[in-house]
Copies of this chain bind each other. A is one copy, B any other.
C-alpha cells in the first residue's frame, strides 16, 4: 500500500482506506449495474466523464428496441411514440437532472450543432449588439463554434481570462459585459479544472447587461445538480455520453426557457422543426415551443441508452450522487497530495468541494508519456494538454478502490519515468 496519510496545512491526517470508504458508500451497489465494471483487465477507469460505462440493461434495451418498436412496430412507432420522444426524454432530463419545468428541453443533434443553433438563436434575438463573450479556457468546440458564428454574424468575440485561479467568477463576467454584449457562453463545470461557475450570479450579471446567457452543461449534467429555471437561464446544452452514459456520440440536449421560445429562432429549418412536418407545405413555419429547435429526424435509436441512466440517477437521487461525487474528488485530492505532489505534480482543480465538479486535473510535465503507459496497463484517466492528467469520477460506477488503484499507478509510472530507482 503506497498511501498512508496526508496533510493539508495542518496536522497529519490519516486517509481512510478505500475499502472502508467503499464499505460505507450507500451507492456502492450501483456499480454492479454497469457492464464489466469488474473486468480485471481494467484496473481503474477514471474517464467516465469522457465516455460513461454502459449499463447492463443497455444491451437488453437495444435488443428489445430492435425486436419490438423497430422490428415489429416499424414505421408505426413514429406515430405511436418516437415523434414525441425527443421531448418526453427531454422533459425527464429536465425533471431529474436539469431543474427545469416541462416543455423546455429536447434531445437532438450533437453538442456542437446545438451550440451553433443556440448561439445563432441568441444573437438573432439581440440584433444590433456587436459582441459575444466566452472564456479562453472553455472547451474547444464552444470557442470554435463561437468563433465561426461571430465571423459569419460580423460580431467581435471578447475572451474572458479568469485571473483568479481555475475558473470564471461573476466579477470577471460583470467586468466585460455591457450594452454591446449579445450573448455570453460559459461552461458550468470547466472541462479541465472541474471548476463550477456560479450559474445564478453570472446569469444575473449577463441579464443586467441585457444580454442572453448560454450554459454548456457537458461536465455537470447527471453529476452536479443544476437549477436552470431557478437561475433564470436562457439557453443551455450538453452531451449525454459522459455522466448520462448514452454511448459514443449519443445525441445532445438543449434547453430554451419558455419565456424565450417565442422570440428565438434557430437557423437549420429542418422538417422536424416545422409546425406540421407531414403537411409538407410550401414553406417553413416553425413549430410552437421546443419542437422548433429540432432540425432533422430525431436520433431515436441513439437516445435509448441514456433513458436508463436518467432513471438510474433518479433511483439513486441526484443529491446522493453529488455527495458521493464530492467524497470521491476529496479522496482523489487527498491521494494526489499524498503520493503525486511529492513527485512534483500540481493540483489544477479547486480544493473547495463547493467549487468543484466530479473530476480533478493534476499537472506534471511528464504526464503525456505517463498517460500512454497507464493505458497499456489498464489504468485509464484522460490526458488534457499541455500536461494534465484528468481523473474523472462517475459516482454510480466508480469505486474508491478503483480511484486509489489509479492514483497509485500514476505515482508508480511517474517514478518509473523518472529513470532507474
Contact = CB atoms under 8 A, between A and B. Distances in A.
Interface of A: 34-36, 39, 41-42, 45, 47, 50-51, 53-54, 58-59, 62-63, 66-67, 70-72, 74-78, 82, 109-113, 115-116, 136, 139-141, 143-145, 147-149, 152, 239, 241, 246-252, 267-272, 274, 277-284, 295-303, 305, 375, 380, 382, 384-385
B297 A299 contact: no
B54 A139 contact: no
Contact of A54 (B36, B70, B280): B70
Nearest to A249: B299
Contacts of A141: 270-272, 296
Contacts of A296: 109-113, 141, 249, 252
Contact of A66 (B58, B149, B251): B58
A41 B295 contact: no
A269 B148 contact: yes
B71 A249 contact: no
Contacts of A152: 267
A249 B298 CA distance: 5
A66 B248 contact: no
Contacts of A277: 140
B271 A144 contact: yes
Most B CB within 10 A of own CB, among A250, A271, A298: A271
Contact of A250 (B58, B77, B301): B301
Given A76-B375, A78-B248, A301-B305, A270 B112 contact: yes
A67 B136 CA distance: 38
A272 B112 contact: yes
A51 B72 contact: no
A268 B148 contact: yes
Contact of A74 (B51, B59, B71, B297): B51
A76 B380 contact: yes
Contacts of A247: 66, 70, 300-301
Contacts of A250: 299, 301-302
B280 A385 contact: yes
A418 to B, nearest CB: 25
A205 B322 CA distance: 62
14 contacts: A36-B67, A42-B74, A50-B75, A109-B296, A110-B297, A110-B299, A112-B295, A115-B270, A116-B295, A140-B271, A148-B269, A247-B300, A249-B297, A249-B298
